[in-house]
């Protein structure tokens, strides 16, 4: 049997190795149109910034290595230009030549390509992308050779942010331009706000809600025109997202799904029974929403590659879908998400609620603890965890993986409270941040506390409700919700007479813990009481970013809390 694989990175390379391990007799041919096979795709931005210094680290696997270890015939610079499913044949272009290659089974792992919208000037000089090893080499080269002082990054997704960080680490001032009003769309806007503030603290100029209108060539580089601004730079990195590389599949008559991605069944088989497809190019089922989606990430691509190999060889192994777990290092910050955010949960028609918790990475009495903001979405009726987003420093990756596992298992918020996680002071607290999220969800679901959210604050009818801030007088003096009265928590029981029992009380503290206790006191004394989810610090982090967004020169003096 001959298996031909189109695309030698991530899913394709994994599938090839798995095929060989399961079948010594198969002929396995990998067609890779680039110069490199199985390269470190996700490492490319770090090569640009000098974090990874040896380019050989990016291309550890060689064509020769695949042959000697796996007897896999990797053909570099070999582009599949047409598929004939009826004849089970691929037309391959290598250099100036083309040839036909028959297959018994075909696996498509073509990946995704950088979106290049028809913006005037986009095909000009000094514009870079960051998708292939050659892209990374070119960008690193210009950074080393020209020592630019100003760069523009267009796009605030993973690649754009990693490019921004790495350019900044290489000493370049970066202006990041994003069409939406936030970076990192796996996050909800409110969670992205602290990322915005952090980026600005790190010296990145952030222009949100602005589309690029035109790239203008200048003697020094490029002038980027976007709504109301012109940004001069020596180079620009274009990272406006990716789209499935499905033209070949489409030409071959294979069924496509959303966003033009290749449609596959649960066995990763396309509409042609002899053709399978994996990776960034395929449409998959979201594990949580059950809806069709694309998840252009390396983890799912690798898992799919292995499963496709199994199915090609007649094992029947279903792929149960991805949940979009993702993570980004941004200087010292870690930003991570899994499952559904509010936008996605709403699109899926789910009735959900959310909690925002603020927890230390480990016992605060042990040196080095830092805080993380955890937003957890859960289904109202069942309590099932739908998604989570975390922004913080140490230990964010751990908590997102625990929550990703809990989501995979269909756990409820109540079940999060029972997780028996590893505790010693250098690693966690006796109540881990994940347990804490569970406790708050439990309290919300069983009615022990009622919440309100940052975006409801301005809408509260000031005359007919009491806004109560239970922080200390000093904290209150440092900034508070307009119209709030201050009664520190420890004085509340003695000062209840100051509150109008006829009015509902909307309570806040710094993070939501003291105000929860206050709500318990007030509720038991007959007050209708609501706790500000995430506390004043979460509310303020959004307001601060809002002001920044409206006026990039504005500084509201809020820093996100670092270690």
Question: Residue 235 or residue 336: which is nearer to its own copies going by CB?
Answer: 336
409 scored as a contact of its own copies (CB under 8 A): yes
Query: Are the C-beta atoms of residues 73 and 30 closer than 8 Å to each other?
Result: yes
Give the nearest distance from C-beta 392 to its own copies in angstroms: 13
CB of 10 to its own copies, least distance (A): 7
- Residue whose CB is less far from its own copies, 73 or 397: 397
Instruction: Assess whether 42 carries a catalytic annotation.
Output: yes
- Give, as ranges, the residues between 68 and 87 that touch its own copies (CB under 8 A): 68-71
Q: Map the footprint of its own copies across residues 522-541, applying CB under 8 A.
A: 524-525
Q: Which is nearer to its own copies, 19 or 207 (CB)?
A: 19
Minimum CB distance to its own copies, residue 481 (Å): 22
The span of 119-127, 321-329, 343-351, 501-509 binding its own copies (CB under 8 A) equals 321-329
* 49-68 binders of its own copies (CB under 8 A): 51-52, 57-58, 60, 68
DSSP code of residue 322:
B
Rg of the chain over all Cα atoms, to the nearest angstrom: 26
Nearer Cβ to its own copies (470/542): 470
Task: Output 86 or 497, the one with its CB closest to its own copies.
Answer: 497
Part of the chain binding its own copies (CB under 8 A), chosen from 87-95, 127-135, 423-431, 472-480: 423-431
CB of 141 to its own copies, least distance (A): 19
Of the candidates 287, 293, 295, 291, which has an alpha carbon nearest to the alpha carbon of residue 323? 287
For its own copies, the closer of residues 224 and 335 by Cβ is: 335
What's the closest the beta carbon of residue 56 comes to its own copies, in angstroms?
Answer: 9
Of 1, 21, 100, 123, the one binding its own copies by CB under 8 A: 21
Q: Give which of 355, 382, 531 is closest to 449, Cα–Cα.
A: 531
Taking the complex as a whole, how short is the minimal distance between the CB of residue 51 and its own copies, in angstroms?
6
Answer yes or no whether residue 432 interacts with its own copies by CB under 8 A: yes
**What three-state secondary structure class fits 156?**
coil
- One residue of 203, 426, 477, 559 binding its own copies per CB under 8 A: 426
Which residues ranging from 285 to 304 are in contact with its own copies (CB under 8 A)?
Answer: 287, 297-303
Nearest distance from residue 25's CB to its own copies, in Å?
A: 8
Site for its own copies in 477-496 (CB under 8 A): 489-490, 493
Per residue in 231-259, is it b (16+ CB within 10 Å) or e — as a string? Answer: bebbbbbbbbbbbbbbebbeebebebbee
Q: What letter does residue 464 receive in the DSSP assignment?
A: G
Helix (H, G, I), strand (E, B) or coil at 392: strand
Tokens for 397?
């990756």
Q: Could you say which residues in the range 434-453 bind its own copies, by CB under 8 A?
A: 435, 439, 448
Is 367 among the residues that bind its own copies (CB under 8 A)? Answer: yes
Interface with its own copies in residues 237-276 (CB under 8 A):
none
Question: At its nearest, how many Å lie between its own copies and the CB of residue 88?
Answer: 25
Give the closest residue to 115 by CA, choosing from 317, 259, 274, 319. 259
Range 136-195, binding its own copies (CB under 8 A)? 158
Task: For residue 215, report the phi and psi dihedrals to the nearest 5 degrees.
Answer: -105, 125
Backbone angles phi, psi at 469, to 5 degrees: -110, 115
Stretch that binds its own copies, among 204-212, 274-282, 431-439, 541-549 (CB under 8 A): 431-439
Binder among 123, 134, 144, 418 for its own copies (CB under 8 A): 418
- What would the two tokens of residue 333 be? 């910050």
Long-range (24+ apart) CB contacts under 8 A made by 282-287 are 282/108, 282/244, 283/244, 283/256, 283/257, 283/258, 283/259, 284/319, 284/321, 284/322, 285/320, 285/321, 286/321, 286/322, 286/323, 286/324, 286/340, 286/344, 287/320, 287/321, 287/322, 287/323, 287/407, 287/408
Interhelix angle 396-408/433-445, rounded to 10 degrees, is 50
Beta carbons within 8 Å of 449's beta carbon, 6+ residues apart: 440, 443, 516, 519, 520, 523, 531
Active-site annotation, residues: 42
């Amino acid at each position: 049997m001959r298996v031909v694989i189109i695309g030698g990175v991530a899913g394709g390379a994994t599938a090839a190795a798995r095929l060989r391990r399961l079948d010594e007799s198969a002929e396995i041919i990998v067609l890779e149109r680039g110069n490199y096979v199985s390269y470190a795709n996700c490492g490319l931005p770090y090569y640009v910034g000098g974090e990874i210094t040896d380019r050989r680290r990016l291309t550890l696997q060689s064509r020769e290595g695949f042959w000697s270890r796996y007897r896999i015939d990797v053909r570099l610079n070999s582009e599949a230009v047409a598929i004939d499913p009826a004849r089970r044949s691929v037309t391959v272009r290598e250099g100036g030549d083309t040839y036909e290659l028959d297959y018994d089974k075909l696996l498509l792992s073509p990946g995704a390509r950088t979106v290049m919208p028809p913006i005037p000037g986009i095909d000009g000089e000094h514009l870079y992308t960051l998708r292939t090893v050659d892209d990374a080499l070119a960008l690193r080269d210009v950074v080393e050779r020209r020592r630019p002082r100003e760069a523009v990054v267009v796009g605030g997704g993973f690649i754009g942010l990693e490019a921004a960080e790495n350019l900044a680490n290489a000493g370049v001032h970066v202006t990041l331009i994003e069409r939406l009003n936030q970076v990192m769309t796996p996050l909800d806007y409110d969670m992205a706000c602290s990322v915005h503030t952090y980026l600005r603290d790190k010296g990145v100029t952030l222009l949100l809600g602005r589309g690029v209108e035109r790239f203008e060539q200048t003697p020094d580089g490029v002038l980027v025109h976007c709504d109301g601004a012109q940004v001069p730079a020596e180079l620009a990195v274009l990272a406006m997202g990716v789209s499935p590389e499905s033209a070949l599949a489409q030409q071959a008559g294979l069924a496509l799904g959303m966003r033009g991605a290749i449609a596959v069944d649960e066995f990763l088989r396309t509409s042609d029974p002899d053709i399978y497809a994996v990776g960034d190019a395929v449409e998959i089922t979201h594990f949580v929403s059950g809806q069709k989606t694309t998840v252009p990430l390396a983890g799912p691509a690798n898992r799919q590659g292995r499963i496709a190999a199994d199915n090609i060889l007649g094992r029947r192994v279903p792929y149960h879908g991805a949940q979009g777990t993702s993570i980004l290092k941004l200087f010292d910050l870690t930003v991570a998400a899994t499952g559904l955010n509010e936008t996605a949960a709403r699109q899926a028609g789910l009735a959900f609620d959310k909690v925002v918790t603020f927890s230390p990475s480990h016992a605060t009495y042990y040196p080095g603890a830092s805080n993380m903001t955890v937003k957890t979405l859960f289904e109202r009726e069942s309590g099932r965890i739908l998604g989570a987003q975390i922004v913080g420093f140490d230990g964010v990756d751990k908590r997102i993986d625990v929550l990703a596992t809990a989501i995979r298992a269909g756990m409820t918020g109540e079940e999060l409270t029972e997780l028996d996680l590893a505790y010693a002071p250098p690693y966690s607290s006796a109540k881990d941040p994940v347990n804490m999220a569970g406790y708050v969800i439990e309290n919300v679901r069983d009615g022990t506390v009622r919440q309100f959210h940052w975006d409801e604050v301005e809408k509260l009818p000031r005359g007919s409700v009491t806004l109560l801030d239970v922080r200390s007088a000093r904290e209150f003096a440092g900034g508070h919700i307009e119209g709030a009265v201050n009664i520190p928590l420890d004085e509340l029981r003695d000062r209840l007479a100051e509150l109008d029992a006829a009015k509902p009380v909307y309570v806040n503290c710094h993070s939501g813990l003291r105000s929860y206790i206050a709500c318990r006191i007030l509720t038991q004394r007959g007050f209708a009481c609501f706790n500000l989810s995430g506390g004043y610090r979460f509310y303020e982090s959004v307001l601060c970013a809002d002001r920044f967004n409206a006026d990039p020169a504005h500084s509201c003096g809020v820093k996100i809390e670092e270690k």
